[in-house]
Amino acid sequence: MCLSIPSKVVKIDKETEIATVDTMGVKRETSLALIDEEVNVGDYVLIHIGFAMNKIDEAAALDSLELYEEIVQKMNEEDQQRLIDESDNCPGGKPS
């Protein structure tokens, strides 16, 4: 299953419209080509199949991330690893 977890933009290549984002400590590259609004370093975005789909409010992003952290902490180690493995199989989900 592919989840859209809020990801913080940490770097942007304006020429290629590719952003490096931090998703709960994992850095990934994502395209900004489909997003209508301006995205800057420090913004939070939701990603689907390797594309940033929309920018979200920082407070909402942090609330969501807190809930994801609680869920992950309640999982056993095997389930945590399966979650990581499954996210690597989502299109555009490979860490950079």
Count of domains in the chain?
1
Which residues have a Cβ under 8 Å from the Cβ of 64 and sit 6 or more positions away? 5, 6
The predicted structure's pLDDT at residue 69: 87
**10-residue stretch averages of pLDDT, the chain, 96 residues long:** 81 96 90 94 93 94 90 78 64 48
Q: Tell me whether residue 48 is in a domain.
A: yes
Output the domain CATH number for residue 52: 2.30.30.140
For residue 57, the enclosing domain spans 7-88
Reduce the DSSP state of residue 30 to 3 states and report it.
strand
Q: Tell me whether residue 93 is in a domain.
A: no
**Residue 76 gets which letter from DSSP?**
-
| Predicted TM-score of the model (pTM) | 0.77
The predicted structure's pLDDT at residue 95: 47
